[in-house]
Structure 1
C-alpha cells in the first residue's frame, strides 16, 4: 500500500530511534514530547507501544486532539505563557522519565530538560538551526539532578528489523498518522502553505 509505505518516512524511523534506542523508554515510564509534528506524533505512538505513558506538548489545540487520538495520556497546551515544565511535573507526579524535544527550538529544548524528574533522560531529536543552534542549558540542574542529555539522528539500517517487526505485529500503526492525502498538483499548494502553518499529522502526496 503506497500510503502506508509513505507513512514510514524519515519522521517515523527517527522517532523510533529517539524513543527506543536513545531514550531507552521502559514500560510504565512517563514520556513527554515537546512539539507534535510528524516526529512528535510518531514518538507518542511508539512510546505507547512500549508501554509508557505519554504527555503531548504543543501550541495547536487541533494537534493536541490528534495526539490524544494516538494515545497521549496527558495534553499540555503551551500557549499563553504557561509554565510547561511545571505542568508536566504536576501531571506526572514529579516529572517525565524521558522527554523529547521533537521541534528543535531554544524554548522546547529548555522545557524538555526542565520537565524531567531526577535522573531523567532528555533526547534532542528536533534539529537546532540558525538562532536556535546554541540553546542555553542549565548545567547546574543537569548536575544536581543527574540528568542525561542525549542526541538522536536518524535510524541505522540494521535497526529497521525491530521496527518492522512491531509494525507487522500490529503494535505500531504508522498509517494512523496520515491526516490526508493529496494529488501531485495539490502537493505544490500544500508545500507552499507549510511556509505559513504546519499541517496536522502527516500529509501524503499520492501520484
Structure 2
C-alpha cells in the first residue's frame, strides 16, 4: 500500500508499505477519506525523524472494515462496516481508558497518525477494534473524517461550556474547528457571533448560520460583541479557536460578568487579568479533543439534524498529491483539505 510519512523539517514522502494484517483484537480499515489538520504542520516541521520514529500520518480517518481479527466480536466490527476511528489507544484498564478518554492514559498511550501509531494517510489502516465508531448511514466518509478531529473537538467544547439555546456565544477564529463550533452552536439553538480577520472565513461563518460576523481587522471585537449583546455586557459564552495570545485575551474580555471563556486552540500562553477573572466572576476553562463517547454523540447529532459538515472541506486530493497538498496547506492557500480514496 501507499502511505504518507513526515520526515521533519518540512519534508514528507510517499512510501510503499506491506498491506497490514490484523492481530486477534484488531481490524484493518480500507480508508475512504483522511482529513488534513492544522496540527499536522507541527509534525511536518518538527525535528528530523528516521527509522522507527517514522509513522504514517493522518489522524482524521474514515473508511470501511476490510478484515477483522479472530477475536473481534461481530458486535464490535464486521467486514463492510462504515466506521470512524477514535484515534487513540491506551492500557484499556485505567480510569481514562474506561471512560472513553483514552488519550489521557498515563500507562501506554498511543496516538494514531502523528505521534507513535500509524494513521489514515494510507490505503489501509490497522487499529484495535475497540477504537471504532459506526458511521451513520446518512453521513459521508468526508463528514466522518471531520468528526474524527475538528468537528468532534468543537462538539466537546460546546458540551464543556454547557451551551444553552437561550445564550449568545462568540466564536473567535473561523478555521475548521471554529466553523464547526459556529455550525453546531446554531444547531443547539444558540445565537452565534463569529469573529475572524479573513473575509472568506467570515462568509463561510454566515453560510454556517452565524447571526453576526465581526471582522477584527476593521473593529475591536470586544466592543463589537458588547454592542451586540444585552446591556452591553458581552457574550454568555466565548470559544477561542486560534491559539493567538491576543485573541485569547479578547475572548476572556468579551465574556459577560459570570460568563465562561473556553480555550480550544492549542499551544502558547494564556494571559489572565485578575480583574476580568476574579472581580467579574468569569470562568476560563480549556477543552482538548473529545472522548470516544462524544465522538459517537457528535456523529448522531450531525446525522439527526442533517448538518452540512462536509462543506468544511475546501479541497480534495489523491494520496499521490500529498506533497503539493501540504505545501498549499502550509502556505494557507487552501482551507481544509482531505485525501479521497477509491
Question: What is the TM-score with the length of structure 1 in the denominator?
Answer: 0.90
Give 1:8-19 correspondences, 5 Å limit: 8-19=147-158
Q: Which has the higher strand share?
A: 2
Contact 1:58 1:76 in 2 (8 A): yes
Q: Which has the higher helix share?
A: 1
User: 2 CA distance for matches of 1:197 and 1:190?
Assistant: 11
Contact 2:214 2:221 in 1 (8 A): yes
Residue 164 of structure 1, CA deviation: 2.4
Aligned to 1:184: 319
Residue 115 of structure 1, CA deviation: 0.5
Q: Is residue 169 from structure 1 mapped to residue 307 from structure 2 by the alignment?
A: no
User: 2 CA distance for matches of 1:109 and 1:193?
Assistant: 27
User: 1 CA distance for matches of 2:266 and 2:205?
Assistant: 21
User: 1 CA distance for matches of 2:241 and 2:306?
Assistant: 22
Larger radius of gyration: 2
User: 2 CA distance for matches of 1:35 and 1:180?
Assistant: 20
User: 2 CA distance for matches of 1:194 and 1:160?
Assistant: 25
Aligned to 1:52: 190
Question: What is the TM-score with the length of structure 2 in the denominator?
Answer: 0.56
Q: Which has the higher contact order (CA 8 A, sep 6+)?
A: 1
Residue 145 of structure 1, CA deviation: 1.2
Q: Is residue 24 from structure 1 mapped to residue 24 from structure 2 by the alignment?
A: no
Give 1:1-207 correspondences, 5 Å limit: 1-20=140-159, 22-80=160-218, 82-93=219-230, 94=232, 95-128=234-267, 133-197=268-332, 199-200=334-335, 202-207=336-341
User: 2 CA distance for matches of 1:197 and 1:111?
Assistant: 24
Contact 1:30 1:55 in 2 (8 A): yes
List, as ranges, runs of 4+ consecutive aligned residues in structure 1 with deviation greater than 4 Å: none
User: 1 CA distance for matches of 2:278 and 2:333?
Assistant: 36
RMSD: 1.6
CA deviation string 1:40-87 (max 9, x = no partner): 00000111111001111111001100110000111110115x321111
- Alpha carbons of structure 1 residues 6 and 63: separation in structure 2 relative to 1, 3 Å: same
User: 1 CA distance for matches of 2:180 and 2:141?
Assistant: 18
Structure 1 gaps of 5+ residues are none
